[in-house]
Amino acid sequence: MKTVHLIQHTHWDREWYFTENDSKAVLYYFMEDLLQRLEDDPTLGPFVLDGQTVVIEDYLSVAPHQENRLRKLIAQGRITIGPWYTQSDFLVVGAESITRNLLLGHADCQRFGDAMPIGYVPDSFGQSAQLPMFLQQFAIDHAVIWRGWSEHNVPHSEFSWQSADGSKVTTAVLPWGYGCAKWLPDDPQHAQKTLEPILAKQTRFSLTDQVLLPNGNDQSPFEYRVPAMLDQLNQQQDQYHFVRSSFSQFFQALENSNVALPEYQGELISPKYMRIHRGIFSTRVDIKQLNARLEQTLSQHLEPLLALNWRLGLPYPQYAVDSIWREAMKSHAHDSIGGCNSDRVNAMVKNRLESGLEMAHQLIDLNMKMLAEGISARQDGKKIIIFNARPQASTGLVELTIFTPEQDFRVIDGEGNECRWQIVEEGRQDMSIIVQELSNSTETTWYRKCKLLLEVRDIPACGYQTLYLQEGVSAGFNSETELAVKLENEWLRLETDERGVLTLTDKRNQQIYHNILQLVDGGDAGDNYNYSPPFDDWLVSNEGFLVSVSGTQGSLQSSLTLNWKMAVPQDLAARNERRADAQLDVSMTITLAHSNAWLDVNISVNNTVRDHRLQVLLPTNVQQHIHFADQPFGLIERHNQPPEMALWQDEQWTEAPVALYPMQSQVMMFDTQRGLCAVTEGLREYQINENSQDTLAVTLLRSVGWLGQANMPYRPGRASGMVLPSPDSQIQGMHHFKLSVLPMNNGADKSFWRDVERARGHLHAWLATGWSRFRTNPHGRVFPPHYSVLSWDSELHFSVLKKAQHSDALVVRGWNPTAQPLPYGTVKANGKITPVTLAETALQTHHEAVPTCAPATFAITF
């Protein structure tokens, strides 16, 4: 007899085709009913509150008077909560976001009771290979998942899932979803007929006689009559024994069965039984870019700066920072960050991210102002603070914007040595917008606005250095730029012909990359969930549409700017008729710094057409069957073409497993002789086309006009979501994209990884002008002209420096981006240094080296 574990739950989307306001209104009545039913019948429960504590936060925001009732039921184990703050999509959001999600989710659970010790991920659009690692770092040994699994990954729905670093969790799949047993009849006879096909499917891949039966659905009322009905069924048949259960009880029964579980390592992105919607990686790219910018601003700038200032005696606004993270995570659910929502919801998601950036930037500005205020000047001029978030001393280039009435100026360090700079952009600025005291003036005060590239050296690790801007003084070097027709330095050469076709030469090994950075525009007949090529697509490249090429060579870098006016179809109808009745204006500026072995690429697109997708191509001419992309805290190897493409139609998969993949910010293809790597800012999708498997195609944008549509080539059958128009998802208007292109002359060696880390950039410059929109009283503290919180001699990539969540300690984190173990290196700080987990608890087992795809975290107490 099979034991069927009844799991009663709700799945709570905060927003989708409805808004979070709609959701809160429904949640009020749902929770009122749930609490009352559980109180009236003490035999009911446990009830799973979707594994995310934001549901509690939302409910108490509209019913704060019910907190004690809720607390009592949680304490009794009748309602199980956590471990997450929100149910995120793990293939799109960043590693620090996933970490904070568990950290803040556990903090909420500690306020209300114990966290459910299950990595419950019921609806992520695919599963990250890193999920076991994240869970183990928070002492969670079990996971329950849905989308992304099939028997082609592992033959059974229960298995031991291992991350590349060796972390393992016992995993159970809900092969037919969290709603497979929703809305069961109250009558045992009717229920038995309903359950027969459900249980036949549920047990199809089960390894043991222990079976999960999830009873609940999206925002559905508590089916409180189901347990009693199943008790009656127990008396009427002997094929199944139904028990009122929990995920923890299920895993205990699974363990007691003493069955050896199959093992699996890797991601789960198979759409055989349920769609994973591969198009969400590029849907609403404006939202993806905002989210990436906010994640980077928080973890790579704001938190390290606050940590530094805290060590200098300034306050650390922990709750303000947590608030920004929480608002960001409310935008991280699979629908929210996927952009597969109504236009109204996408606008709310975007607003949350923009609001988070506003607050983060204001905190940065205020803290830089307070830092500069405490530094005693060693030279004349305005102080420039160069802040280095990384735990290694840094030398390189940093951007700085200055406003000055003078034609001449120079920048010097504390010893009077001059720093080189280059003006990369210049204009005029109405200073009444900048200086509050001028806002009521009857006359406009105009200054030069100069965006500088500044060369800096030996900026202290996790610290700062003070430079000085002296106006009205000539620079001691030639700051003029000259015209250029190609880009060249010690390592690379980039040339263009009269058509704008670019050729890159790696001078280190004389490898040549022809037609690099080509732009290709194609049709998109899909929706917010999935990219879908038209049945007969018409691809248009930028070749033949060049309008102008200009180049400059300066003291620090050289650049080429190419402008195209691409004749493209206005929409799908025009594309079907091969009618180029619209124009796509595209500008690309490629920069080669004299000190860097990579290209920085800025692309601007005025998107005035619809139903299309624009990609930039990186032809590698590498004859390999695999490539690599980054994932949260690591690297993943993928096939250029998934082998399942040969069988998906015969097996009637829900969606084609096309080579349309997610990344955090990096994708690369290489062999021992050559290769290319792209490091992007907020671009989360790339593709490898079946007909050009040596080419990386990075998606810049895609424009669609529907939330859901039916019968697409890559996704046959029903529409996903709702068949609703979403004209805002055509994302009309100006868009700006950034990526760096790194040629690989010796594979993924140490030099390459150092360049990847440098290309991401961790230097920040701030000019102390004395102007401010907001005034604060002087803090009265005195700071040194240069300072370092700590240093870490390590090859690991930097993730964050922050104050510990629950103690007066600092936390510094790096991660291994490579495919091999790396040494930890040495952390040096004026305090006690302790290895800790992502949960910021003492690490019980310490490897001799940092495994691949693993973070390394240290806490420093003073």
Cα distances (angstroms) measured from residue 366 to each of 354, 360, 776, 780: 18, 10, 9, 15
Distance set, CA 671 to CA 215, 636, 719, 846 (Å): 50, 16, 41, 33
Out of 50, 58, 108, 123, the active site residue is: 123
Residue count of the chain? 862
Rounded to 10 degrees, the C-alpha dihedral 559/564/569/572 comes to 0
Kindly provide the b/e burial profile for residues 490-516, where b requires at least 16 CB atoms within 10 angstroms of the residue's own CB. ebbebebeeebbbebbbeeeebebeeb
Burial of 536 (0-12, 13-18, 19+ CB in 10 A): exposed
Q: What is the DSSP letter of 281?
A: G
Q: For residue 151, what are its two tokens?
A: 């028997």
714: Cβ–Cβ under 8 A, 6 or more apart, which residues? 526, 530, 531, 532, 533, 655, 656, 658
Contact in structure between 234 and 280 (CB atoms under 8 Å):
no
Does 123 participate in catalysis according to the annotation? yes
Please state whether beta strands 518-523 and 540-541 pair in parallel, antiparallel, or not at all (unpaired): antiparallel
As a whole number of angstroms, the distance between CA 198 and CA 311 comes to: 59
Residue (of 603, 519, 524, 530) closest to 569 by Cα position: 524
Q: What 8-state DSSP symbol labels residue 420?
A: P
Sequential DSSP letters for 82-116: -SBSS-B-TTTS-HHHHHHHHHHHHHHHHHHSPBP
Secondary structure (H, E, C), 190-201: HHHHHHHHHHHH
The pair of three-digit structure tokens given for residue 32, joined into one six-digit string: 């009122």
Distance CA 112, CA 115 (A): 9
Which residues are registered as beta bridge partners of 148?
A: 270
Q: What is the dihedral of CA 645, 647, 650, 651, to 10 degrees?
A: -100
The answer to whether 678 and 620 are in contact (CB under 8 A) is no
- Secondary structure (3-state) at 274: coil
H/E/C letters for each residue in 803-817?
Answer: ECCCCCEEEEEEECC
Report the distance separating Cα 368 and Cα 362, nearest Å.
10
Residues near 496 by beta carbon (within 8 Å), at least 6 away in sequence: 485, 486, 502, 503, 549, 560, 562
Residue 463's DSSP bridge partners are: 388, 788
Residue 145: what are its φ and ψ, rounded to 5°?
Answer: -135, 170
| CB-based contact 159:262 (threshold 8 Å) | yes
Asked whether 330 and 336 are in contact (CB, 8 A), the reply is: yes
474: number of Cβ within 10 Å? 11
Catalytic site positions: 123
